[in-house]
Amino acid sequence: MLQYIVRRAASRATNITTKPKSAVLADISCSSSDMAVLQVKFYGTIGVNEPHCSQVARQMIQYALRHARSQKSGDSYTQSLMVLEQGISNLRGGDSTEDALGMLMLAMSTLLYERGELQDSIEKLQMVHDLDGGSLAIKVAAREALIGLNLEAGQDFSSLALSNDCLQLLSSSSGGNLSILEATSSRAKAIKGLTHLILGELKSAEALFSDCKVDFVDSTDQIGNISLSYGEFSHATGNLSLAEDLYEKVLSVPERDAISDNSFMSSSNMVSEEVLLGATCALGQLLSHLGKFSEAEELLTKALTMAESHFGTGHPKVGVILTCIALMYKQKAKFEASSAILIQEGLYRRALDILKAPALDSQDSVNELAKRDIIALARGGYAETLCIQQKRKGEGERMRKWAEANWRNRRMCLAEALEISQPSKSPVVDTRICRLL
C-alpha cells in the first residue's frame, strides 16, 4: 500500500510537470484564483501566476493531508510523510523553486505536529527557516509556526527572539507588492503581540496589535491568525465587544472554504483548522463570561466536535476544550445559584486523563510537562469541586496545592483564572498553543 501511494504521488508529480499549463490547472481541485482568495483571507499571501513546481507541491500536499486525516492512524501519517518526502526529492531534481520545497516542508511539519511529534515538527520548520531562497511569505509562515510551537512548549523567550527575527526579516525586505508586504507584516506583528501577551507585557502587545495594517471593520480579506490573536488580546484585557467582533470575523468565512486546501502558507498549530477551532472555542468562552450560557454551550460543544473530528477523541486538544466546558459549567452554576458538581467533576476527570496529567505524587520533571497551563487549570477547578464535598476535602486540598505549585501564568494567579472576577483579567484559553492567556 505504501509503495503504491508513493508511486502514485511521484507519477502524478511527473505527469503534472510535463503537462501544458492549461492541463495542470484543470487537474487541480482548487483553482489558482480560489486559492489566492483563501490565502489572502487567512494568511495575507497570494499565489497567483506561480510556477508549475509550486502547483505540483500543492497537489501533493492536498493528497497527503487527505490521506493522513482520513484514517488518523500511525500508518496513514507515515505514508503521507513519505509522499511529501518523495515530492521533495522529485522537485529537487528538476526545475524547482525553494517556495515549492518550503511548502512541502511546512506540510510535513503540520503532519508531524498532528501526530504529536513536536520536536520533529520544529526541526522541519527550521529547515524551511534555513532555506537560502524562498519568498517572504514562506519565511514568515515558518517563523510564525516556530513561534507557535515554542509557545506551546513553554519556551516563551525563545518565541520572543523568533518574533524579533521575523520583524527584522520584514524590515530588511524591499520591493514587491505593497499590500502583500503589509499583510505579511501584520501577521508577524500579531504573533509577536501574542508572545508579549503571554509574557504579561500588555503595553508592548497593544502597540503591536494597534499597528496591524488591517481594516477589521470594512474588510474581510484579512482574518485568521491576525484577528484571532488580536481578539484574544482584547478579550484578555476586558474589551469584550471588540473581541467578539474579531472572533465573529474569523468565523464569517464558510467552513468548507476556510479548511479546504490549506497548509500551503501555514503550518503546525497555525493552520486554518486550528484558527477556526480557536475562534469557536474563544467565542464560546467570551459568551460564557457575558452570562450567555446557552450560546456558549452550543459553541463550546461545536469546538469539541471539531477537535474530535480533526484530531481524534484522545488528542490533547480535546482535553483543552473539555476544560473550557467545565469552566463554563462552573460559571453557569454560580450565576444560577445552582450546582453542577457531578458534571464539572466528570469533565475535569476526562480532561486530565486525556492530557495525561501526572499523579499528584509523581517525581517526573514538572518543568517539562506538556500543556502544564491547562493541566494546572483543570486540576484547580477539579480541586474546587472536591473541597466542597466533606469526604473528599483532603483529596481536593492536595490537588489544589499541586495546581498552585505548578501555575506559571504571568498575568493572574490560579484563583483569578478560576473566579473571573475582573473583566480586565478575563482568562481565555488559546487552543492553538494550549495556553491560558
Cα–Cα distance list, 174 to 102, 136, 169, 171, 180 (Å)? 21, 10, 10, 8, 12
Answer whether residue 67 shows pLDDT above 60.
Answer: yes
> 3-class SS at 435?
strand
Q: What is the mean pLDDT of residues 106-114?
A: 94
CB 405 within 8 A of CB 397: no
- In terms of C-beta density within 10 A (0-12 exposed, 13-18 middle, 19 or more buried), how is residue 11 classed? exposed
Asked if residue 36 has pLDDT above 80, the reply is no
pLDDT tens digits, one per residue of 348-405 = 999 999 999 988 887 665 555 678 889 999 999 999 999 988 889 999 999 999 999 9
Q: What confidence tier does 35 reach under pLDDT thresholds 50, 70, 90?
A: very low
8 pLDDT exceeds 70?
no
Pick from 2-16, 203-217, 408-422 the range whose average pLDDT is largest: 408-422
Give the Cα-Cα-Cα angle 338, 343, 345 (nearest 5 degrees).
110
Q: Phi, psi at residue 341, to the nearest 5°?
A: -60, -45
| DSSP one-letter code for 368 | G
pLDDT band with cut points at 50, 70 and 90 for residue 281: very high
**CA pair distance 412, 414, nearest whole angstrom:** 7
- Residue 257 above 60 pLDDT? no
Which of the residue ranges 73-87, 186-200, 317-331, 334-348 would you say has the lowest mean pLDDT?
A: 334-348
Per-residue pLDDT at 245 exceeds 90:
yes
Which stretches does DSSP call E strand in 32-173?
A: none
pLDDT in the model for residue 15? 46
Q: Compute how many other C-beta atoms are within 10 angstroms of the C-beta atom of residue 422.
A: 10
Q: What pLDDT score does 133 carry?
A: 73
What is the chain's mean pLDDT, rounded? 81
Question: What's the rounded Cα separation, in Å, for the pair 375 and 348?
Answer: 9
- The per-residue pLDDT for 255 is 58
pLDDT band at 214 (very low <50, low <70, confident <90, very high): low
Residue 370, judged by CB atoms within 10 A of its CB (0-12, 13-18, 19+), counts as middle
What integer pLDDT is reported at residue 5 of this predicted model? 42
Q: What single DSSP character describes residue 429?
A: E
CB 286 within 8 A of CB 251: no
CATH, domain range 2-270: 1.25.40.10
Q: What gap in Å lies between CA 307 and CA 370, rounded to an integer?
A: 18
Task: State pLDDT tens for residues 319-363.
Answer: 999 999 999 999 898 888 777 788 899 999 999 999 999 888 876
Q: Given this model, what pLDDT does residue 93 score?
A: 60
* Residue-range domain boundaries for the chain: 2-270, 303-436
What angle in degrees, to the nearest 10, is found between the helix axes of 118-129 and 136-152?
A: 150
Rounded Cα gap, residues 265 and 39, in angstroms: 7
State yes or no: pLDDT of 48 exceeds 70.
no
What pLDDT is recorded for position 24? Answer: 31
Is 42 a residue whose pLDDT tops 60? no
Quote the pLDDT of residue 30.
Answer: 36
Bridge partner residues of 429 (DSSP): 436
pTM: 0.83
Please name the residue that has the C-alpha cell 472576577.
Answer: 421
Cell numbers describing residue 7 = 508511486
Other CB atoms within 10 A of residue 163 CB? 25
Pairing relationship of beta strands 429-430 and 435-436 according to DSSP bridges: antiparallel
pLDDT, average across residues 278-296 = 95
Q: Is the pLDDT of residue 72 over 90?
A: no
Q: Give residue 297's pLDDT.
A: 96
92-103: burial string, b at 16+ Cβ within 10 Å, e else: eeeebbbbbbbb
Residue 262 has pLDDT above 80, yes or no: no
pLDDT tens digits for range 136-173? 888 889 999 999 999 999 899 999 999 998 888 888 77
Q: CA-CA distance, 66 to 60, in Å (whole number)?
A: 10
| pLDDT attached to residue 1 | 45
Q: Please report which confidence band the pLDDT of residue 108 belongs to, taking 50, 70 and 90 as the band edges.
A: very high
